[in-house]
Structure formats: structure tokens, C-alpha cells
Structure 1
């Protein structure tokens, strides 16, 4: 009997998902059955299939293998093997030891992995956020960076090895989270004019676990924190402009700083801290000429300007002002170390009334009383007189002069 002719036209196609190979050929004359064999130097096991037809399927092939294919034809008594060299490469193996690192505040993650077995053309790194947005990066090495990550997002990162014909299986997923987004629409509001408490509020940031708000002036920095969208910073510095910023934090990672806003404690806060009976920094500019009527005073719980001895005297010399009839009286001599306090008093009153007139009133009032060297009830009467924008002591001087005139006339009559 003649030996079967060689099988020709051998072809192999791979199903990359299942790593199964379909082998086909043109049977040689005299062949009654066939055996297709796949053999690799890295795989000690032979994979084969038997058939009476001209094709067969070999399944469950290992990943990353390079196989030589041989088809043997069997006659009645003899067999013959194919001569042509045909090869098949299975899909690359899954990348292992995937590591992802992400710096706080960065939009770029660094990814590395161990090389895959098999014929690998390149690797694809994929990052998918919880909304399905996908970012990819390709590399022919075992590391790469993936950029364009959004703030406040969690991503599933994986690596896939690619060959010319196949896409390998995806690696294990590594989950990362970017830094929270910077808080937006930061608003500051002075809650209590007397204490200087400021409420800071903002819009919620993606990915934030806690927020830190900061009020920074040239003097000091104050901070509050909150897991909601507002917090209160107590007692900001009087007369200082504070830059207000907020950062969001999650997993020890901070967001970018919010756009800065500003807040300034009004002057009445200083008056609250320094004067016995503080008054507002805004006086009435309407038809009334009296400094005892104030614009917006009711909203600050200040109904009238305090008397001269309770405001000017305490500010000029709070530590040594004498007590007279249960009240602090205006000192007749200036204190030695009160230039700062005196300046503060004048600045406060400058803001309280017209700039030049208010300072002139205070200075003239103090000088006039010191030079007059008045005593007893007369001095008390002037000290307790409210100041006026048109007349130094309002109607008190005229009334006082009239009293002296009346007293002189009575003396002459007697």
C-alpha cells in the first residue's frame, strides 16, 4: 500500500478570549484520518485533536505560548506528517504586580507592572471613573503615566497586554481616588460685630471628607474646620483685612486652595473691646447735628453715643482714669504711655463722624476741660454733656454761662 500524501494548506486561527485554536488543512491523497498537534518549548504538554475531516479545534491553550503546528495523515497502514512550518501564538498573559501611585493634587497617576508572558506588542493602561469616563495610555515598557484625572473622582485602574492579533485578559483592578476639588463660591459673613465672629460658607466639593477654612491677616492666622459646608472663625482681628480661603481634604490629601475672599472687622469691634460703653462707628448724617444719633445704631445694639467721661477718658487713660461719683472721669493730665490708645480713640471717632470734625471735637474737648481746670459739680456737668457737631458741648456751655450770669446778678442785688 502507498504512503498517504502530505497534508497541505495548513492554517490556524485563535479565539483570543478562550485561547482555543481552529486548525484546518487540505488532506493529502490516501489519508483516512488526521491528528493536529500543537507543541511549544515552554509548554511540556502536547495539545492535539483527532478527526476524519479537514479541520479540528483545540481548546484551553495556555496564555503566552508560541506553538508549532503539525498535521499527521493516517492511511490504512502508514502515516505522514506535514512538512510546512506553521506557528501559532496564544494571547499574552495577564499583567501582574500592578502598582498605582498618585501624588496629592496631581492629575497624573504612575502605573507599573510585571511583564506578561507571550508575544506582547504593547500594554494599555485604562482608568475608568464611577461615571464611566475612560482614560487610556499605551506603553511598550512595563510602566507609564496616565494623565487627565479629574479632581474628586475614584478610578478603577487596570493593565492589558496587547499582541498583533489579540487583546489579553485585563489585570486585577487597582482603585485610586484623586484629591477633592477646590471649594467654590466661598462667602464670609461677620456674624457678631462685638465678638468679631465670622461665618464662612462654600459649595460642596466632590470627594471631600472635611474642610478647613482659614482667615489670614498680617497679624495672625485663624482656622476652623467642618464636615459640612460652613464653619465659624471666632474673634478675627479688629481693623485687619483677612484673606479667607478654604481647602477640602480626603484621605490625607488636600485640594487646591479656593479663590480667596476678604473680610474686615469693623471699627466698632475695637470700641467694644476697649471702651466701657462702645458705640457704633457710623453716625447720623441726616438733618440732626448731634453726634448722639447714629446711623444703623439699633442694628448693632448701640442706641446712643456714650458720655465724654465714659468714652474719651477711658480710651485716653483706661488704667489710671480716676473714679468720680462712680464713673471714670476725664484725667487732667495725659498719661505717659497712651499714644497708641489715644490714636485708636481718635481713629475710631474719625470714622464715626466726619474725618476732620470728629477729631477736632475730641481734641478741643479734652484741651478745653484741662485748661479750664474746673472743679466739682461744674466739671461733672460738662463731663456728662454729649458732644455736638455744631457746638462743642451742645447747649451746655450756653446754659452754664447763663447760670453764672444769673448768679452774678443775684450777688449784685444783694
Structure 2
């Protein structure tokens, strides 16, 4: 149909026609050649060689879900149907068939790398070739997330399982009392949170980023930071007895208070209480420091 022609000569009842253009419909005629005369041409039959294939495929990954990507290509001559296969490096494969120049592949795994193969078919032929195209799905949510609090430092270390395809991890620590959030970026498997507030509960999550897509957040892990130091400590000695009265302001995050009294002659006694005041007796005749 495009004006191209070719021919072959044979003394048999068949011959091979080479040099046909892909995706072009040819009309084939046969003429018998004699010593003196030639026959008229036979009635024509149509012949459709293999369809042409596009030179490239574009992939648009759905960053909002784990399992889908839209793949598109230019229309080519001679193809009635296209079957596109996405083959993962782990052996998994998904495909879609269409008469259009695009299709959605679903059932993809998060954090996967897929190579693309395209098959074009018409009434006569089917041709399959690897296309120089591949794509990566959005990263998986980080796994095995854990947090470790270093007491006395207001520092927490968040850790997770690192994956090779991830370009950046973004972790966050949300304070329960007011929703304030700290962020920490990492290219490895840990993040270091400093200056945490005493007496608070923090929730930690981490997300992974690669190729412009972000993973869902990881499972949440929580810690309670160390209690704040008591403030407003006052003491009162009852002079007509061996008792003293100690009081202080409530300390955020405290479940129990330990009061230690140390005398100048070496006597020491400790008291535990869940209240914000304590009345106790101490041996007379000493000067006490109380913490």
C-alpha cells in the first residue's frame, strides 16, 4: 500500500519474498513465464508482514498506590493488538492487552524494578521484542522500625530495615501534648532525634522516597521520655518533733517520686511516694540535705 514492491523468481511452486516493510499490506500476484509467452497475472492475495514496533515505551508510575503503572507508546503500522509485559527482577510478571497505545498494568509489587517487553500482533504475525524501557514502583513502607531512648540525654535513635532502591528516608517524631513534630532525613537505616522534651510521649514514623514517589508511612512506634525534674521544692522542719515536711510541684511524666535524705554524720534514708509531698521522721542532731 505504500508503493514499495519486490519480487522473486522460482521454478517451484513457492518462493520467499524478502525486504518487506513492517506494518505494510502487500498484494501478491503470480505470473507464469514461458519460453515465448507469459501468462496473465493471477488474482491477487493480500499479505501482511509483521507489524512495526515502537522504539520506546513511557511509564508513569502511580505513586498513590503500590500496584499500578500507566505505560504508553506511539502507534505503529500494521498492529491490531499490543500485549505489554512487565517483568520483575524477582521473576514476577504482569501484562495487559489493548488495541490502544497505552494500558494500565496492575498487581505490581512495591519497591520493584520492572523491565518491559512489548508484543505486537496482526492477522498474520506476532512479534515480541524487549523494549529499552524499565520502571520502578513506589518504595515499600519501611519495616522493622524500632526506637531506642538514651536516658539522661533527651536523645532517641530511630532505626529500620534499609533497602537498596530507596534514595531518602524521612522520619518524624510527634509530641502527644501539642502535636509538635520533629523531622530527620537519612540515606541510611537510622535517624538521631535530639532535644526531646522530658515527661512526654512521642510517636515515631518513617517513610521512604525514590524516583519521585513516597512510600506509605511505617508502623508507628512510641516512647515515653524520662520524667522532668521536680521544681518548687520546699521543706519545713517541725521543731517539737523529729519530723519534716517536704513538698514540690508535679513533675511531668513522673509515676513515682524518690526522696533521699542524707545527714552530715552519714545517716541516709530514702522514701518513695506517688504524691507531691512527704512527711517523715529523721534522727535528731544532724543537718540533712534532701533530694
Taking structure 1 as the reference length, the TM-score comes to: 0.57
Q: 1:239 aligns with which of 199, 215, 232?
A: 199
Change over 3 Å in CA distance of 1:197–1:188 after alignment to 2:
same
Determine if contact 2:148/2:158 at 8 Å carries over to the other structure. Answer: yes
Alpha-carbon shift at residue 158 of structure 1 (Å): 4.2
Ranges in structure 2 where 5+ consecutive residues have no aligned partner: 238-246, 287-291
Q: Conserved in 2, the CA contact under 8 Å of 1:95 and 1:160?
A: no
Q: Give the equivalent residue in structure 2 for 1:202.
A: 160
Higher fraction of strand: 2
C-alpha distance in structure 2 between counterparts of 1:244 and 1:346, whole Å? 20
Query: Which range moves more in the overlay, 201-210 or 145-154?
Result: 201-210
User: Do 1:196 and 1:236's aligned partners in 2 also have CA atoms closer than 8 Å?
Assistant: yes
Higher relative CO (Cα under 8 Å, sequence separation at least 6) belongs to: 2
Larger radius of gyration: 1
1:168 CA drift (Å): 3.0
1:251 to 211, 234, 251: 211
2:257 is equivalent to residue 352 of structure 1: yes
Structure 1 counterpart SS, 2:250? helix
Deviation at 1:347, TM superposition (A): 7.4
Q: Does 1:394 align with 2:281?
A: yes
> Is 1:179–1:254's contact at 8 Å kept on the other side of the alignment?
yes
User: Between Structure 1 and Structure 2, how many residues are aligned?
Assistant: 267
1:173, distance to aligned residue in structure 2 (A): 2.3
Report the alpha carbon displacement of residue 331 of structure 1 after superposing the two structures with TM: 9.1
Q: 1:154 to 1:388 in 2, by over 3 A?
A: closer
Deviation at 1:344, TM superposition (A): 2.3
Residue 253 (structure 1) shift: 2.2
1:128 to 74, 84, 87: 87
Using a 3 Å threshold, how does the CA distance of structure 1 residues 262 and 345 change in structure 2: closer, same or farther? Answer: closer
1:174 aligns with 2:80: no
SS in 1 for 2:63: coil
Q: 3-state SS of the aligned residue for 2:127?
A: coil
CA RMSD of aligned residues (A): 3.3
Distance 1:226 1:138, change over 3 A: same
